[in-house]
Amino acid sequence: MSAEFAPAVPRPPARTAPAPVLTGAQAVVRSLDLLGVTDVFGLPGGAIMPVYDPLMDDEHVRHILVRHEQGAGHAAEGYAAASGRTGVAIATSGPGATNLVTAIADAYMDSVPLVCITGQVFSTLMGTDAFQEADIVGITMPITKHSFLVKTAEDIPGAIAAAFEIASTGRPGPVLVDITKDAQQAEAPFVWPPKIDLPGYRPVTKAHGKQIQAAAQLLATAKKPVLYVGGGAIRSNASAELKVLAEATGAPVVTTLMARGAFPDSHEQHLGMPGMHGTVPAVLALQESDLIVSLGARFDDRVTGKASLFAPHAQVVHVDIDPAEISKIRTADVPIVGDLREVLVDLDAAFRTAAAENEVDYSEWWTYLNGLREEFPLGYTPTTDGLLSPQHVIQRIGELTGPEGVYAAGVGQHQMWAAQFIKYERPNSWLNSGGAGTMGYAVPAAMGAKVAQPDRVVWAIDGDGCFQMTNQELATCVINDIPIKVAVINNSSLGMVRQWQTLFFDGRHSNTDLNTGHGTRRIPDFVKLGEAYGCLAIRVEREDEIDAAIQLALDTNDRPVVIDFVVSADAMVWPMVPQGVSNSYVQYARDHSPSFDGQED
């Protein structure tokens, strides 16, 4: 019998190498390696110490030692927001873990993919009020997509893999993995990839075709439509698809605070930012529309004003990957659950078909909106007290840096000015704390963004109040060669609170003066503080010094730069729709106040 016709000889099954036996701590680090994590932010302590030992020898994961765990959380957020990759923060038990809570809540509100790994006391001590014990799983349950408590070494790879899956899919958000110290110290076979079992977690990405058709029909027959774009457009990486749909429809576009950069500011269809401090055309376009197509937005109170009076004549198409958001605030006539990027592709195709069967005509609408743009351009009133105009400072930062830069803002007046006066042309260029409104976000978020995007210029645009909450992370930046630029918009006060006190509390400025910037009393002196941290630090008090200072910062890349811009405390954020009133307030003020220019209360 020839060899080629010889019966096959069964081969013994291939030997599978036995799973290596690792400690739980080693399993944490190995899991991060295999998930492709390259950077983490953290601060060690007793309950997480076992993890830090193998982390020291790992060649793939760079650990950046922060000066406060809140800084680790915000840095991981900035890393994620600038890159689209999941950010990672590590902390110990008790106060280490609770110091992460603000950043976790921030990430939850703004849909930032974040994994926080915390140490926990020995499982045998849990519930005994042991040293540095805190029920961080219970504490964070309302502000995470999920929280894991891991008590055995063999469960660690699966928990970490599942955490990354949950954080980065569906509507992104934070996930906590709390690991007891005995689980970190015990040994178990390391099995990878682990089996991930997430019963009930099935994010819907593909929208229902009939809903897409209904939305397209409304768009094709509307007379006054608006594309209301929220942060979901950034998180789903849908900017290119959004531009295609917008240009196909010819409808006006507004981008919320969380969506700045999702649609180019320079595009002729862009009306600007809506809401409390939005442009007059953007606010009135929503308010007077007959169709709102909400794309990854959630109708939050800062956009709607009094929700019951918002856009009273508009039908609503609401697209969101999170079904809990749809009809939560405003009932949707056409609800669409799905990944925005995929929905936009389908909606574009359906609209083109519907448009061929209908006469799409938005000309009267655009005549009205262009009139608003001409009548109420975004602007500001120069200061009269001899101090700098903060709007001018921020505008020049944006103009000299350009659209390829990354801009992280704290919370308050400077945040709104940065959203208004910097031109955003691309997604992931604007980072801020939108939902939670967290003071202290800017410096660590900028630090994280620079780690994620080392070739981009990264600015932290901060207020003097915010800066004092997390400026210790400048030490982290200096030691780790993270050359961010920090612009302190120093009005020597808690500016947004002061503005409200001026407008709504008869000018009674209770406990909003910080004594940081004016005259000879500077507590602290931000220039000396920056120099103490090893930064290049300068102060700017005259308008003719602004450009040179910004250019010096742009030219300095061997260390962080801190610029103390001493600005007027009387500058206010305009326009402003007072909290709790209808957006028709803008219409009323325009029609009944001849001097109304969009910059008056």
Write out the DSSP string of 283-342. Answer: HHHHHT-SEEEEES----HHHHBSGGGSSTT-EEEEEES-TTTTTTSS--SEEEES-HHH
d(CA 581, CA 573): 17
Region 556-575: mean pLDDT is 96
Backbone conformation region of residue 48, classed left if phi is above 0, alpha if psi is from -120 to 50, else beta: alpha
pLDDT at residue number 583 = 77
pLDDT for position 202: 92
Per the prediction, the chain carries an average pLDDT of 94
Q: In this predicted structure, what is the pLDDT of residue 9? A: 46
Domains of the chain: residue spans and CATH: 21-189 (3.40.50.970), 209-375 (3.40.50.1220), 390-566 (3.40.50.970)
pLDDT single digits (tens) 78-113: 999 999 999 999 999 999 999 999 999 999 999 999
pLDDT in tens, 459-471: 999 999 999 999 9
Q: How far is CA 350 from CA 244, 249, 489, 548, in A?
A: 13, 11, 47, 52
Tell me which DSSP letter residue 512 carries.
-
CA distances from 120 to 50, 445, 526 (A): 11, 26, 38
Structure tokens belonging to residue 34: 């295999």
DSSP 220-268: HH-SSEEEEE-THHHHTT-HHHHHHHHHHHT--EEE-GGGTTSS-TTST
Q: What is the mean pLDDT of residues 301-310?
A: 94
Give the pLDDT band of residue 316 (cuts 50, 70, 90): very high
Give the pLDDT of residue 1: 34
Q: Give the rounded percent of residues in the chain with a pLDDT score beyond 70.
A: 94
**Residue length, the chain?**
601
pLDDT digits (tens, 9 = 90+) for 271-289: 999 999 999 999 999 999 9
- Cα gap 124→181, rounded to integer Å: 10
| Parallel/antiparallel/unpaired status of strands 187-189 and 21-23 | antiparallel
Question: pLDDT tens across 578-598, in order?
Answer: 877 777 756 655 554 434 444
Report whether 534 contacts 559 (CB < 8 A).
Answer: yes
- Checking if the pLDDT of 523 tops 70, the result is yes
- Predicted confidence at residue 3, as pLDDT, reads 38
pLDDT band at 577 (very low <50, low <70, confident <90, very high): confident
**What is the set of active-site residues?**
69, 131-132, 181, 496
Q: What is the pLDDT of residues 437-459, one digit of tens each?
A: 999 999 999 999 999 999 999 99
Partners of 254 in beta bridges: 228, 272
- Residue-level pLDDT at 18: 86
Q: CA-CA-CA-CA torsion for 427, 430, 431, 434, nearest 10 degrees? A: -100
Work out the number of other CB atoms within 10 angstroms of the CB of residue 588: 12
Q: Look at residue 589 in the predicted model and tell me its pLDDT.
A: 55
* pLDDT higher than 80, residue 261: yes
Q: Is pLDDT at 17 greater than 70 in this prediction?
A: yes
Q: Which run of H or of E encompasses 344?
A: helix 340-357
